[in-house]
Chain A
């Protein structure tokens, strides 16, 4: 499960072109639109995992 989560983190951050530091912190600091879209995606993914998938797993 941890390796799978790691896979998603690695794949997603390469695909989106950045992670929490690259998009949420530095991207938003530079007021870049793509970063705001990416952060929306981070949050959407996180909410889906927390509220839809966690109840199924645990």
Chain B
């Protein structure tokens, strides 16, 4: 239980940030794809800048996790097909539902039971990927 609490606290914090920053808003995401507002660009941009600084500090000072194990970063697999094709499919769904995998749960928590449909669809999608995996270009 002691172990699990860290994850729960981090998850709750992430959910609150997503919700308060309006990253879970279908309208904010539409605004972004219409280039009508700086909101989402500023949000993602500042998150990436904070991330770059954090990753740099973690590497620079060889920071260890709470078990004393060094934090390492694994390079993503090489190639481009899966990233471009999978990414584009993801983008279609992102614009349509206004939610990526994190926000679908945040929105459910905000009191939109209709998100259960999106979650069911997403689970079907991940399952289908598993079935088709060997036949897709990666």
Contacts and interface: CB of A to CB of B under 8 A. Distances in A.
B55 interface: yes
Is chain B's interface secondary structure helix, strand, loop, or mixed overall? Answer: helix
Interface of A: 1-21, 23-35, 37-51, 53-54
B80 A37 contact: yes
Contacts of B76: 17-18, 27, 32-35
A39 B76 CA distance: 14
Contact of B83 (A8, A30, A37): A37
B10 interface: no
Interface in B52-85: 52, 54-55, 73, 75-80, 82-85
Interface size on B, as a range, is 35 or more
Given A6-B117, A6-B125, A42-B91, A1 B136 contact: no
B87 A38 contact: yes
Contact of B123 (A10, A17, A19, A28): A10
A12 B101 CA distance: 11
A14 B93 contact: no
B125 A14 contact: yes
Nearest to A26: B51
B83 A46 contact: no
Query: What 5 pairs between A and B have smallest CB-CB spacing?
Result: A41-B87, A45-B91, A6-B121, A29-B51, A10-B125
